[in-house]
């Protein structure tokens, strides 16, 4: 094997190692992205539920004031 062939083989090996690290990094980022998407979906559902509950509470508070009994000092 000539010096040029050895240098090319070494460069190819280095590129394969770098490609392996890049592939691992991409897989880790993909996993993190999927996990974040799931967390965001859970938080969005919780926020929607809280808005519904708040809306229901507001509706309950807006009941007709005439239907409430008078304060005890009357």
Kindly state the DSSP code that residue 69 receives in the 8-state scheme. P
Q: What is the model's pLDDT at position 62? A: 66
Q: What is the mean pLDDT of residues 3-25?
A: 96
Q: What is the model's pLDDT at position 11? A: 97
Instruction: Please give the mean pLDDT across all residues of the chain.
Output: 91
Q: Is the pTM of this model over 0.85?
A: no
Tens digits of residue pLDDT in 43-68:
999 999 999 999 988 887 766 666 77
């Amino acid at each position: 094997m000539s010096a040029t062939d050895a240098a090319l083989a070494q460069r190819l090996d280095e590129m394969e190692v770098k490609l392996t690290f890049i592939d691992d990094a991409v897989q880790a980022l993909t996993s993190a992205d999927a996990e974040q998407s799931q967390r965001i979906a859970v938080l969005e559902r919780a926020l929607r539920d809280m808005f519904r509950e708040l809306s229901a509470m507001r509706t309950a508070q807006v009941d007709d004031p005439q239907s409430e009994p008078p304060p005890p000092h009357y």
